[in-house]
Structure 1
Amino acid sequence: MNASAKPTPDARFAAILSGPILPTLAKLTAPVLLVITAQLFVSILEAYWVSRLGTQAVAGVALVLPLFVLMGTMSNGGIGGGVAAAVARAKGAGDHARADALLWHAIVIAIGFGLLFTIAAELAGPMLYAALGGRGETLQAALDFSAWVFGGATIVWLVNLIGAALRGAGEVKLPAKINLAGAAVLVPLSPLLIFGFGPLPAMGVAGAGLATLIFYAGALVAFLLWLRPGTHSHRGPLKLARHPLDPALFAAIMRVGLVSAVGTLLASLTIVAITGSVGQYGTAPLAGYGLASRVDSLLVPLLFGLGTGVVTMVGAASGAGQHARAWRTAWLAAGLAFAGSMVIGLVLMAAPGLWMDWFTADPAVHAAGSLWFHRVGPSYGFFGLGLMLYFASQGFGRMRGPLLAGIVRLAVTAGGAAWLASQAAALDQLYLAAAAGSVMFGLINMAAVWRARPT
């Protein structure tokens, strides 16, 4: 090619840049949403199996879940968002060599963050779970679950950042196939490890953690086999090969990814803080909140599924200089997220038993979980709106607005809940603080993206 010729996107990205927005977004999103739906089914099923172990086990997992969600959101939507956005902008500009090098740098980043999470969980986990209200059997259940899911944190990070790079390059079918296969394995594996069978001993909540880690280990092996030189890599959008470490490429990822990671940390601190505040009200309220707030933990992955397509399309359009297309994509996706999240919240507000009846017959646990839906359900739409515009901001490479939104949400929710708990306020008032934080999160992200509109 002539040295002065402008690089062009490959055929995959030509379609992303020129196709109708909603159908193109659907093609990028549908495989991810299919996988997430399967994973949500597995997660709900796992919650059911853990609930058979009793209230102490449910409460113990509830203590660990916010931190595990933090690792997932930080690696997928935080640093992973930076990886996907950087790769999408490189591919949109037709710079395929840069995209390949970004994949290698993402792997290096994954190893570093994975080790950091393992060490942090080992050193600080017991104190943190106790501070959040874990005592006796509840604390031991938390430690048993934590040991497995954080012991293999590097594996989780590698899977999530490799998947993010592939999504940024427009490859969504391979991660979908790998994750669907893993979800199918988890369905029988999780209860087998939790309750045991024949000579296989029952592991309790530790079995749920081990099953999760086995899933990620299998996914990592599948990714590496597919990407290794001489196999499918020559047909895929990215090539896995060792590259010299380049500070500029780390910066391209971390400029968006680090701010996004701080945003996910703020979100998880918000969850951890309200969990700690609810924990002061006793085991039954903590268990009820833990079961009800699992809907929030399941809603985030669904929104993430749509967000992956948004990051790719907005990043690609921005890299190609199509700023108006990027902005339209952001608002169309935000509208879909608002509508879908609001419907879920209002349905559960009207009929909380649709969820709680699956997991508990304890009246106190059921009441605490139902109260969450009554108070927080109407705010789900604003949270979905804000999160989708957060993903769009990753594609734009502008993260100040989402960072401010996360700070305000933390201050309103965590600060409000902590103060109310110290005043022995009713539990529903703590939940209203969470709802107010979600509304503010959505409104601030709206204002930030609106200000970035093309002129």
Structure 2
Amino acid sequence: MTIDAPLDVRPAAVPPAAVNSLLMAPILPTLLQLAIPNTIAMFGTALVAVAETSYIGRLGTEPLAGIALVFPFVMLTQMMSAGAMGGGVSSAISRALGAGNRDRAATLALHAAIIGLCAGLFFTVMMLTLGRQFYSLLGGRGDVLEQAMQYSHVLFSGAVSIWLVNTLASVVRGTGDMRVPSLTLIATAIVQVAVGGGFGLGLFGLPKLGMAGVATGQLTAFTLGAIFLAWYLASGRSRLKLNFSTFTFQRDMFFDILKVGAVSCLSPLQTVLTILIFTKILASFGTETLAGYGMGSRLEFLLTPIAFAFGVASVPMVGMAMGAGLVARARQVAWTAGAASSLIVGLIGVVVAIWPALWVSLFTSDPGVTTAANSYFALAGPAFAFFGMGACLYFSSQGAAKVGGPVLAGTARLLLVGLGGWWLASSGAPAWTLFVLVGAAMVVYGLGTALSIRLTRWGK
């Protein structure tokens, strides 16, 4: 079986299971085939952040501090467009294809592009008008604030490109094709590093534009990526050809996407808030403790692509099964993906809990920071499995258009970290208790998401 082979075009009377291999193929091998390209692409994207941080560091301390102010909002933009609203897009299209309705799937794709365009414009207006106030609230002052604004103005002036790349990639993923979106994201990452480094540092004879030049790399890369994916979908080379001549606005199409995507957007908000709140709390414990937590959170950032890869791979499989009325298969896909993600992420968590130096020694030799990082991994590392399971099942629930429970599980995690962290800090508890809290919050998130899926009825 070849996952990337075009779907057959057959009469609507033919049962969907007869025309779509994703409805009949063995679940685990199919998930692996779909997840591997996503994993490679997501790791490439994560490494871009590492490369970008590296050459921003060459610009000085103020630019490094400035990018730290902007990063949560960049992450929010990416998570909302790719994972939240993107999941809603893939879910709606895969359910339509599973029901054998190609015309509806193609129309949904055009409505998704409109949503991406509007959301991108919203982020542009919001960040260009309120960005300075946001960064000031996070503690940005003086030259650090100005460096943040240089990066932010250029980047968010092209927020539409970021939203369109992730939206159109989600359209293609909804058909079960993971290869083209992954290759597009890898190419985008390469362009971003080359152009951003060139203009940021003045390499290859290019003018040195500093932070504005670094942001130019991302703006250029995502603009080219959006143009390519739009051409790919319109040219008929994808499994779903867009038909602009027959397009009409249909309210139910927007609702079909937004009933999943809009609710899912709460999840990245919760994630960003959790990071900001916990970072603020840990800052009171000193630089070494905060840096030690930073070592741990950096690994979590690199492990997220694994959960994302399995989760995104499960969306079209779950969605098509739901569209075809195969509810039992949809649930089996979700549990298989969740177990695979939990096993891989959890194994890495156990390894760093036992041998933290494998990771920590890559970044620091400072005794205080090393001690704090070792404590974090020993206490929170074993809970990584629950994080991997919860993050993956969140995506699977998007395929079934049942995201309320996983979002509530994310809310529980946020409240536990926020209220629990505040209570521990105010009562003078040692720093290691906060690391226990992080692990406990992961357990609550994973088990809460699994329980919500177990108790939620899928299907009509």
Q: If the length of structure 2 is used for normalisation, what is the TM-score?
A: 0.87
Shift of 1:182: 2.3
Relative to structure 1, the CA distance from residue 445 to residue 70 in structure 2 (aligned partners, 3 Å threshold; closer, same or farther) is: same
Residues 127-164 of structure 1: CA distance to partner in whole angstroms, max 9, x if unpaired?
Answer: 33333344445444433333333232111111101111
- In structure 2, what is the equivalent of residue 447 of structure 1? 451
Letter in 1 for 2:94: A
Aligned equivalent of 1:181, options 154, 179, 187: 187
Shift of 1:404: 1.2
User: Unaligned regions of 5+ residues in structure 1, if any?
Assistant: none
Aligned equivalent of 1:317, options 294, 297, 321: 321
- In structure 2, what is the equivalent of residue 256 of structure 1? 260
For residues 263-274 of structure 1, the aligned pairs below 5 Å read 263-274=267-278
Residues 335-389 of structure 1: CA distance to partner in whole angstroms, max 9, x if unpaired?
Answer: 1111111122233334444444444566666665555434432221111111111
User: How far apart, in 2, do the equivalents of 1:41 and 1:289 lie?
Assistant: 20
- In structure 2, what is the equivalent of residue 20 of structure 1? 26
For residues 364-403 of structure 1, the aligned pairs below 5 Å read 369=373, 371-403=375-407
Shift of 1:279: 4.2
Relative to structure 1, the CA distance from residue 284 to residue 5 in structure 2 (aligned partners, 3 Å threshold; closer, same or farther) is: closer
- In structure 1, what is the equivalent of residue 203 of structure 2? 197
CA contact (8 A) 1:169 1:238 kept: no
Aligned equivalent of 1:88, options 94, 98, 106: 94
- In structure 1, what is the equivalent of residue 300 of structure 2? 296
Matched, 1:236 2:239: yes
CA contact (8 A) 2:43 2:302 kept: no
Shift of 1:8: 4.4
CA contact (8 A) 2:232 2:238 kept: no
For structure 1, which segment, 305-314 or 141-150, has the greater mean C-alpha deviation from structure 2 after superposition? 141-150
Question: How many correspondences in the alignment?
Answer: 448
- In structure 2, what is the equivalent of residue 99 of structure 1? 105
User: How far apart, in 1, do the equivalents of 2:202 and 2:248 lie?
Assistant: 47
RMSD (Å), alpha carbons? 2.9
User: How far apart, in 2, do the equivalents of 1:59 and 1:47 lie?
Assistant: 10
Shift of 1:179: 2.0
- In structure 2, what is the equivalent of residue 434 of structure 1? 438
Aligned equivalent of 1:126, options 113, 116, 132: 132
Letter in 2 for 1:90: A
- In structure 2, what is the equivalent of residue 339 of structure 1? 343
Relative to structure 1, the CA distance from residue 152 to residue 291 in structure 2 (aligned partners, 3 Å threshold; closer, same or farther) is: farther
- In structure 2, what is the equivalent of residue 145 of structure 1? 151
User: How far apart, in 1, do the equivalents of 2:375 and 2:87 lie?
Assistant: 34
User: How far apart, in 2, do the equivalents of 1:115 and 1:218 lie?
Assistant: 18
User: How far apart, in 2, do the equivalents of 1:419 and 1:130 lie?
Assistant: 26
SS in structure 1 of the partner of residue 242 of structure 2: coil
Relative to structure 1, the CA distance from residue 5 to residue 60 in structure 2 (aligned partners, 3 Å threshold; closer, same or farther) is: closer
Residues 201-253 of structure 1: CA distance to partner in whole angstroms, max 9, x if unpaired?
Answer: 4444444332222221111111122223xx3x165323252621111011101
- Percent identity over paired residues: 37
Letter in 2 for 1:151: S
Shift of 1:443: 0.8
- In structure 2, what is the equivalent of residue 413 of structure 1? 417
Aligned equivalent of 2:13, options 6, 9, 25: 6
SS in structure 1 of the partner of residue 40 of structure 2: helix
Shift of 1:52: 4.4
Relative to structure 1, the CA distance from residue 115 to residue 56 in structure 2 (aligned partners, 3 Å threshold; closer, same or farther) is: same
Shift of 1:265: 1.7
Shift of 1:289: 4.2
Q: If the length of structure 1 is used for normalisation, what is the TM-score?
A: 0.88
CA contact (8 A) 1:62 1:290 kept: no
Aligned equivalent of 1:214, options 216, 220, 227: 220
SS in structure 1 of the partner of residue 249 of structure 2: coil
For structure 1, which segment, 105-114 or 64-73, has the greater mean C-alpha deviation from structure 2 after superposition? 64-73
- In structure 2, what is the equivalent of residue 114 of structure 1? 120
CA contact (8 A) 2:197 2:203 kept: no
CA contact (8 A) 1:324 1:454 kept: no
User: How far apart, in 2, do the equivalents of 1:51 and 1:139 lie?
Assistant: 16
User: How far apart, in 1, do the equivalents of 2:425 and 2:144 lie?
Assistant: 21
SS in structure 2 of the partner of residue 293 of structure 1: helix
For structure 1, which segment, 353-362 or 431-440, has the greater mean C-alpha deviation from structure 2 after superposition? 353-362
Relative to structure 1, the CA distance from residue 223 to residue 198 in structure 2 (aligned partners, 3 Å threshold; closer, same or farther) is: closer
Relative to structure 1, the CA distance from residue 150 to residue 359 in structure 2 (aligned partners, 3 Å threshold; closer, same or farther) is: farther
Relative to structure 1, the CA distance from residue 294 to residue 47 in structure 2 (aligned partners, 3 Å threshold; closer, same or farther) is: farther
User: How far apart, in 1, do the equivalents of 2:129 and 2:367 lie?
Assistant: 37
